[in-house]
Amino acid sequence: MAEQSVKARVYAAAEQISTEKNPTVATVREAAGVSNADAGRYLKEWRAERDSAGSKIAATPTIITEQALRLAGTVWAAAVSTATAEHAIIEKAWRDEKTHKDREINELATDLDHATRSHQEAVKELRFQVEEANQAARDSASAAAEAREQLALAERRHADELSVLKSQLAEARATVMTLQQTQDALIARIQPSREETGA
């Protein structure tokens, strides 16, 4: 009975010490309050029992291992499928947005061309009117001044319109570039998953 008590104390001390560090004969002897010989003998038994228990736990049945591998494969396949679906959704949304922006750029470019032509035609017409007014300046000095004022006003107005259109066109192009960079980044993140799936 006394031997059982000594063994129990050594086992308890070894368990307690092992939570922080590797138990030794000296640390177990001091913690359990036993002799050096008892500490050494029962510590050796404790280690043997612990190693034996660890070996039994490590010996996982083959069927469990196979089921775990199948489960891991299923989870991985589901993850890849989800990532692929999300990528397809993101890519479609990006393509739709890019198509919209491309259309917007084309419309802005067309508006800019029309505005430029209208500006050129208006300036040409106003200059013609100014020339005519200058020819009759002796009789219509006020008309010539008004035509020149209208020409200057029209040039400023058309210049403002052109500036706005150019700004909108630059903003749309910058948006498309940002969308392209975002798409490239998304594809770069998704690509490793596809490569791992193929492997």
Query: Tell me, what's the pLDDT at 189?
Result: 85
Q: Tokens 């949304």 sit at which residue?
A: 93
Question: What is residue 52's DSSP assignment?
Answer: H
Contacts of 94 (CB under 8 A, 6+ apart): 179, 182, 183, 186
For the chain, which residues make up each domain, given as ranges?
2-58, 79-198
- Distance in angstroms (rounded) separating the CA atoms of residues 185 and 94: 12
Query: Tell me, what's the pLDDT at 19?
Result: 93
- Distance in angstroms (rounded) separating the CA atoms of residues 166 and 160: 10
Q: How many other CB atoms are found less than 10 A from the CB of residue 119?
A: 17
Q: How many other CB atoms are found less than 10 A from the CB of residue 86?
A: 12
At 171-197, the pLDDT tens digits run: 989 998 999 999 988 888 887 665 556
- Distance in angstroms (rounded) separating the CA atoms of residues 100 and 96: 6
Query: Tell me, what's the pLDDT at 112?
Result: 87
- Distance in angstroms (rounded) separating the CA atoms of residues 112 and 120: 12
User: What are the residue ranges in the chain where pLDDT is below 70?
Assistant: 1-4, 54-61, 65, 130, 137, 140, 192-199
- Distance in angstroms (rounded) separating the CA atoms of residues 149 and 109: 30
Query: Tell me, what's the pLDDT at 1?
Result: 47
Query: Tell me, what's the pLDDT at 104?
Result: 87
Contacts of 186 (CB under 8 A, 6+ apart): 87, 90, 91, 94
Query: Tell me, what's the pLDDT at 137?
Result: 62
Contacts of 108 (CB under 8 A, 6+ apart): 165, 168, 169, 172
Q: Tokens 């006394």 sit at which residue?
A: 2
